[in-house]
Structure 1
Amino acid sequence: MRSLPPVLLSTLLIGSLVACSDESTDDDPGAGQSVVTEALGDTVAKLALTSRIDAFGPRITAAITAPDDAVSMQIGLDPNFGDDDWQPLADSAELPAYEGYQEVFARFRSDDGTPSEFTVAGITIDSHAEAATASPPKPAAVGLIAPNAIEVSLEVGRVQRGVGRQGDTYLGDTVDATTLDRGWTLTGDDAPTLSVARRVSIPTDGGRDTNGEMTLFPMRHTVTLITSAPLVAGSTYAVGSPLGTSIEFTVDDRTQSSPAVHANQVGYDPADAKVAYYSVSEDVSKAAVAPEVRFAVVNQDGTEALRGIASSRTATDEAGKGDVTAAKVFQLDFSAVTTPGRYKVCVDTVGCSGAFDIDDSVWSALATTVARSLYYNRSGIELNAPFGSFVRPRPDHPDDGMVAYATDLTAFEASEQTDETVFDAIAEKATTTPVDDAWGGHFDAGDWDRRPQHLFMARQLLDIARRYPDAFADGSLNLPESGNGISDLADEALWTVDLFQRLQLPDGAVRGGIESERFPDWGTPSWNDTIPRYVYAPDAWSSWVYASVAADAALLLRDVDPERASKYERSAVAAWTWAESQETPQTEGDPSNAKVVSQRAVAAASLLELTGDAAYGSVFIDIAPFADGPTSPLACHSNEWCDAGWRYLAIPEQLTDPSVRTNIVASFTELANRIIDASEQTKFGWCLEDPGVPMVWGMGVGGNPHIITVLRAALLTDDQSLFNAAQRCAAVSLGANPTNTSFVTGRGQNPARHPLLSDSSFGGVPVWPGIPVYGTHPLADLSWVEDYRLKPAGSNVEGADVALLESWFDLPDVAALNEFTVFQSQAPVVWAATALAESAARRR
């Protein structure tokens, strides 16, 4: 039986380069001000991290103990360094950082030019923890949202995660939210009187008691106060809370933060179209917002880089979804600012956004962080130094006693069922036949499945690795495979490809992945989970999906590892041949059967390029909808004809049909233009992969910006307006939205912190950076969340009243909001961010 070892250690006893940090101390739970690092054994280097907060955001100071022979070093928040990033050796370095769990990567070089392995350390930054856990709690932030409207944020409590079934611990006081509806004061010279306009109280986390029930709810109370007269510029005021605590601020629209000004918190490339937004709820804006809104872009030394006039974004039916914002919104366009630096956007007489960078590494850094997060999603491998900042024992490996049994249910049949029925179906068709070598692949969020759709992640990563070979060179992600001569992004993709290759039968049939008998039990991390595992039976759909990706792997490796490439080629052809001999599965409710037939077409396109056999091209033309003209929908969000058409265009032209190519390009451009037209009808400029897609379960505003269609059209046509639209839509996911949330963990000044991640909830593993969560979902469709999470927490938010773009709560067990998958979340962000980085580099 597998034991439950401690995971976050202040001292790690493994590897030649070891550094690990405590997430908190008893005196300051989660503020990120203290860290312990120690390296034992064959010690080469150490990092000790501390953090501080200034007016332009968090900063990490790394105290460095370098190897004795080191003369230079590289250090940063990700390991994707270039030769230009070597710098003289120093005993400390300061790095701009973000909120949430942060990792720092460092390596060193001696006189002979030999680089060391990486040293990696981690630290959690939570700038509001001290105020939230004070007794009584103190207001954490205050700012103007209009000249006569103040918004105060009072956070109450934090949750300290327990390990296993210990239950979590609530830190701090609790507050009856209704006491915050009156009793606020404003003091200062000639301070005007106050009235409370509204209070919005929502949970910021959820913790479980020792029975596994979620009963511990830290809260954020956002109170809007209207003043009888505008506050005076340059004057200092103190806002007093009904709890007897207060917060002081000086009215300065070039330094004071305003929660009403929203920008991309990760930043912008110098060549990007750059927009931010100013929004005020309709009940406040009627009396408080000037008819003309002026703004400035201010750099770190206080200099104005640009002044401008905002444009109003009005919409009563946003992309056909109704009014999903319920606010008056202005767009602040500062595309003319191209000088690299750290900036804020500031609205006259109001205040400023959070800080952001204008830098040519913004998109590549985001892509690297999200790609790195996939390593932490691996199954069947121990996570350890020097490849990361924490330890996670190896889960789901046969050498540790895990046995997976065959079920006669296919993955396609399972995909046609609901969560309520699929587990019963697996059990009904379960056998007692063990399946050898059923390990590896990537987990998703709160469960341990590895399905054929995970190969869509591998497909997108391999596409990037082939299209932009220098973006993720060997060693760029600090993986166990680094140094093998293969792109690190390809290595990550192959971790899942190899699982399905092991599941392939001698006749070529590919079994459709691994599924548990039920969802994980509470209190059980992955390495302690003993729920029976089952391997799906083969089906044509799974085999076609695998054939396409194995063929792509063979193409990528053909010149760097011919033997491995040949193995993938034989495997891909065998999977195709078996699938072609089977009856085609039929999707219920879709006569076109796009879900299945599109995967056959992708496989045909990949095998056409791999083998040069025209028969594969004939199959593609016969079954794809592109022969007679442009087609829609492409369904990029579900990897259907979008992937098939895109894959066909990557084939050398002499092997393809010119008219089909033309129709595919037209399909992308026509749909992209419809997407952009719909986006222009939204107040915050968000995108959907298809305007008809419902904004639920990760298909609304969240970590995935839904710009694959638009970017592919932009790359095909070199239409700058499409690139501009993609940049704008990506900004919404990264903080330019009404809740000021970056829906990617560890990136931004207000990132998602509590994704559905069982190993973090129950195993002591930190929430690593780079996880894009699903994001907003209509609360009216989640009555259980309202009844069993919001109301017990003391929230006053109701489904009928909350605007969709504010319908997100950072609760770790609400899958519709905080789940993620490797193929719907991480892979699309890696693909999109890399495409944005490469296209911007080409324009510079």
Structure 2
Amino acid sequence: MSEHIIRAITVNQIGYPAKGSKTALFTGGEHQFRVLDAKTRTAVYSGVTSAAAWDKTSGASVHTGDFSAVTDAGSYLIEAEDGTVSAEFIIEERPYEELQQGLLKAFYFYRCGVELGGEYAGPWGHAACHLAEGSVIGQPGLKLDSSGGWHDAGDYGKYSGPGAKAVADLLLAYEWYPAAFTDSFTLPETDGKTPDVLLECKVELDWLFKMQEAGGGVYHKLTTASFPGLDVMPENDTDELFFSPVSAAATGDFAGVMAMAARIYKPWDEDFAARCLAAAEVAWQWLVQHPEEPGFTNPPGISTGEYGDEEDHDERFWAAAELYRTTGQEMYHEAVQALARLPFPKFALGWADMGGYGTLAYLLTGKDQTDEEIYRTLEEGLLAEADRLAAVSRQDGYRISLREEDYIWGSNMLVMNNALLLLAAERFSGEASYAECALDHLHYLLGRNVLDTSYVTGYGDHPVRHPHHRPSVGDGVEEPVPGLVSGGPDRGLHDEYVREHLQGKPAAQCFADHDLSYSTNEVTIYWNSPAVFVAARFNSGWQG
């Protein structure tokens, strides 16, 4: 593996919107700097960085070079007075269009049960996989069709809750920023009419239907008993598949995303939308009939990712809010009102805490159709959380909302989920400053960080190249599957590789671009999905 030289000047390695603020971050002492045309190397702007400040989280003395005055479209780089240079980057009205296409195309590469062909997959194709029926744990002799959907992560498991979260982010992105999805990135199903994002989400939704048992409950996950080797391609992972038991969390997530899909797909496919709504309603009835369900734990003999969740009020809240928004039926509104008064997180957007999706659904229903007190409480709470994130970002050397303790396994999910919440605050308040803060989070993901690393495979000039992702390890292709979001720094050092190599590092430096580092460099669908959302916002035009 080639050595990664960390530059003292870090930028978004893709680029910056022509309008709005533009900053590079420097380490070390204060600098005079110049913005150079990347082709001619002539200076188009010069400035002086701000005073340096020690940033404990990154372990660096950081200062800012503002070049917001540069607005002409083109390719640029930044040079310090000592000759140090940054990555090249572009300035355009919509610099993230190709990035968004790649982040979305990643879901095609996650597909299970179908051949990924050369026309669409390039060198990263593989044969159809996981076509065998799966055994239902606890029901001897029962086998069910398990094919389709998306692999969850660097392994080949498929999980109902995380899958629902990923689809929700993509559907929200389309609902809020449809102009960002007018261009096709070409899928086998592309018909020239239906937006490709909806075609791709349908792949996962069609699989989720298979996870619902006859009584309405939803199987928590579908996996082999244990993970295959790191170099095993999906078509060679032929161990027996198992449906793990139904859980309330999975059922609530299913009901929420299906009710959401029923609304969004109706203009495109009324029959599919009706099927989604019917499935959501049956799932809701299961939840009503099972008010006190224990949290999910792996059954004996299953050692794949558990995605355990002891608290299911958040999933029920999301389900009720989406069903109310889609149907207008009072019984769902009554459920929302009862659940909203319970003490669970209502602004989180992770696979374990889905209450934020319920809050968004309820606020999007509108003041006229909602309880005045609950609406106000949720709106004020969402804006207060966004203000907290913005305040943390202002104090952070790299302008993101993670505190030292937030550099957890999958910290980049927090980076993008927080950016999504900030953009929700922009939507409900009209304040552009929230979008500016969200954009800083995208800058971080794409290289403006202490490690000078783009955490998206194939994007930027210092991207992650060795993700913990079985197809990228086993396919014999030098470059990894493109468009995958890496998990990012994890101060807990949760795998052997980083425990050996990263002891004593500051939180934001606890990352290894190595395929053995599953705790810092794995990839998942639900780290990609909020990144698609954020990119779509800034591909819809900058109004800041």
TM-score by length of 1: 0.59
Q: Distance in 2 between matches of 1:633 and 1:662?
A: 13
- 1:508 aligns with 216
Would you say the 8 A contact 1:383–1:393 is kept in 2?
yes
- 2:88 aligns with 355
CA deviation profile, 1:173-205 (whole Å, cap 9, x unmatched): xxxxxxxxxxxxxxxxxxxxxxxxxxxxxxxxx
- 1:404 aligns with 134
Would you say the 8 A contact 1:486–1:560 is kept in 2?
yes
- 1:269 aligns with 17
Q: Does 2:481 correspond to 1:698?
A: no
DSSP 3-state at the match of 2:141: strand
The correspondence of residues 388-787 of structure 1 with structure 2, limited to 5 A, is: 388-390=121-123, 391-397=125-131, 402-408=132-138, 432-452=140-160, 453-473=162-182, 476-483=184-191, 485-586=193-294, 595-625=311-341, 634-638=347-351, 639-688=353-402, 691=403, 694-699=406-411, 704=416, 706-764=418-476, 766-778=479-491, 781-782=493-494, 784-785=496-497
Would you say the 8 A contact 2:158–2:223 is kept in 1?
yes
CA RMSD, 1 decimal: 2.5
The correspondence of residues 72-471 of structure 1 with structure 2, limited to 5 A, is: 218=1, 220=3, 259-280=7-28, 289=29, 292-300=30-38, 301-315=40-54, 323-390=56-123, 391-397=125-131, 402-408=132-138, 432-452=140-160, 453-471=162-180
DSSP 3-state at the match of 2:322: helix
DSSP 3-state at the match of 1:312: coil
Would you say the 8 A contact 1:685–1:729 is kept in 2?
yes
Q: Which structure ranks higher in relative contact order (CA pairs < 8 Å, sequence separation ≥ 6)? A: 2
> What displacement does 1:782 show?
4.5
CA deviation profile, 1:595-628 (whole Å, cap 9, x unmatched): 41111111111111221101111111111149x9
Q: Distance in 1 between matches of 2:75 and 2:324?
A: 48
DSSP 3-state at the match of 1:774: coil
Would you say the 8 A contact 1:377–1:442 is kept in 2?
yes
User: Greater share of helix residues, 1 or 2?
Assistant: 2
Amino acid of the residue matched to residue 407 of structure 1? Answer: I
Q: 1:804 aligns with which of 492, 507, 511?
A: 507
Would you say the 8 A contact 2:14–2:95 is kept in 1?
yes
> What displacement does 1:482 show?
0.9
Q: CA 1:496–1:531 in 2, change beyond 3 Å: closer, same or farther?
A: same
Q: Distance in 2 between matches of 1:523 and 1:729?
A: 32
Q: Distance in 1 between matches of 2:541 and 2:370?
A: 26
Amino acid of the residue matched to residue 134 of structure 2? Answer: A
CA deviation profile, 1:534-554 (whole Å, cap 9, x unmatched): 012223322221111111111
Would you say the 8 A contact 1:265–1:749 is kept in 2?
yes
CA deviation profile, 1:32-73 (whole Å, cap 9, x unmatched): xxxxxxxxxxxxxxxxxxxxxxxxxxxxxxxxxxxxxxxxxx
Would you say the 8 A contact 2:103–2:483 is kept in 1?
yes
Identity of aligned residues (%): 24
> What displacement does 1:219 show?
5.6
Amino acid of the residue matched to residue 265 of structure 1? Answer: Q
CA deviation profile, 1:160-184 (whole Å, cap 9, x unmatched): xxxxxxxxxxxxxxxxxxxxxxxxx
* Long gaps (5+) in structure 2: 297-308
- 1:827 aligns with 529
Q: Distance in 1 between matches of 2:349 and 2:361?
A: 12
Q: Distance in 2 between matches of 1:432 and 1:521?
A: 28
User: Greater share of strand residues, 1 or 2?
Assistant: 1
Amino acid of the residue matched to residue 389 of structure 2? Answer: I
Would you say the 8 A contact 1:262–1:736 is kept in 2?
yes
After TM superposition, the runs of 4+ consecutive aligned structure 1 residues lying more than 4 A away are 700-705
Would you say the 8 A contact 1:703–1:772 is kept in 2?
no
Amino acid of the residue matched to residue 261 of structure 2? Answer: A
> What displacement does 1:266 show?
0.9
CA deviation profile, 1:200-229 (whole Å, cap 9, x unmatched): xxxxxxxxxxxxxxxxxx46386xxxxxxx
Q: Distance in 1 between matches of 2:341 and 2:51?
A: 41
Q: Distance in 1 between matches of 2:237 and 2:117?
A: 20
Q: Distance in 2 between matches of 1:615 and 1:277?
A: 52
Q: Distance in 2 between matches of 1:305 and 1:705?
A: 35
CA deviation profile, 1:711-768 (whole Å, cap 9, x unmatched): 2112221212221111122211111122211010000010000111112212335512
Q: 2:520 aligns with which of 817, 838, 844?
A: 817
Computing the radius of gyration from Cα coordinates, the structure with the larger value is 1
Q: Distance in 2 between matches of 1:742 and 1:667?
A: 32
- 2:304 aligns with none
